Amino acid sequence: MVKVSVINTGYFKLDGGAMFGIVPKSIWSRINPPDENNLCTWAMRCLLVEDGDRKILIDTGIGHKQSEKFFSFFQPHGDDDLMTSVSNFISAEEITDVLITHFHFDHVGGAVSKDKEGNYYPTFPNATYWTNELHYKWAYEPNAREAASFLKENFVPLNEMGVLSMIDVEDGIRFSDHITLRFYNGHTEAMMVPFIDLPDGQTLVYPADLLPSSGHIRMPYVMAYDIRPLITIREKEEFYDIVCDGSYFMFFEHDRVHETGRIIKNDKGRYDTDSLMSLEDRLNNDSSL
């Protein structure tokens, strides 16, 4: 039996132009209205998957250990944080696995905590943390484009403390009884995307930054953060070939409003979203499944 629960870790702000790439502001501003500094609000939404005896947390938000100067750039806010949200379901000690889609700070920051003496420790003391060797090497020796997003204190201590394990980079590899993984290289090297099989025959997909929000479904809507934007477009096409049959729905990590939605092809032949709703409503609403 598998159970999935939303772990809200709050909101932060990123430049709207950076998040929508070549899409004009006159268009993207209708999707996510910016403030006077051109910053848009984004969620940092994670997922808890209880899969048999395993309690799997997917991504960990931005965390709390960075400097005030660092946080001033991204303005984290909201009433939710990682540990409080997790405690609504289970204790931190019960987490058996932490699956990090990739090591950008807003996905891995909560994986490592810091005590008053400045010592780092795993936030979830009994968990095995998971990445893959290609991505670890990529993040450890970052290119100039991503260097500011890969903060070594977010992931190197996990390796040094022996709690970080590597997954083979093989599309369709089985991570747990109900989770398989696919790998994408447009946003960053070997980002992991979990596909979660639900008992009713549906599949919940956690596309991470391949589709950070419901506003990124259409093909040209690619973030300026992506290291290989043309690869992202090709990967989206291949991804849509898999997930547009009606039995898949997306979990949007960064959408400030919508937690889940389906991807459809509309009458004009363009990809769009449908059935936007919370994960709880979707799982409890038979008509949506």
**Number of Cβ atoms within 10 Å of the Cβ of 102:** 26
| Model confidence pLDDT, tens digit, residues 28-76 | 999 999 999 999 999 999 999 999 999 999 999 999 999 999 999 999 9
> Above 60 in pLDDT, residue 90?
yes
| Model confidence pLDDT, tens digit, residues 227-246 | 999 999 999 999 999 999 98
pTM across the whole model: 0.96
| Model confidence pLDDT, tens digit, residues 93-144 | 999 999 999 999 999 999 999 999 999 999 999 999 999 999 999 999 999 9
| CATH number for region 2-206 | 3.60.15.10
Which residues, 6 or more positions from 230, have their beta carbon under 8 angstroms from its beta carbon? 186
- Average pLDDT of 13-38? 97
Cα gap 104→44, rounded to integer Å: 12
Confirm if 100 and 111 have CB atoms less than 8 A apart. Answer: yes
**Number of Cβ atoms within 10 Å of the Cβ of 80:** 18
Cα gap 140→156, rounded to integer Å: 8
**Number of Cβ atoms within 10 Å of the Cβ of 248:** 17
Q: Which pair of structure tokens corresponds to residue 248?
A: 């898949």
The total number of residues written for the chain in this structure: 289
> Above 50 in pLDDT, residue 289?
no
| Model confidence pLDDT, tens digit, residues 138-170 | 999 999 999 999 999 999 999 999 999 999 999
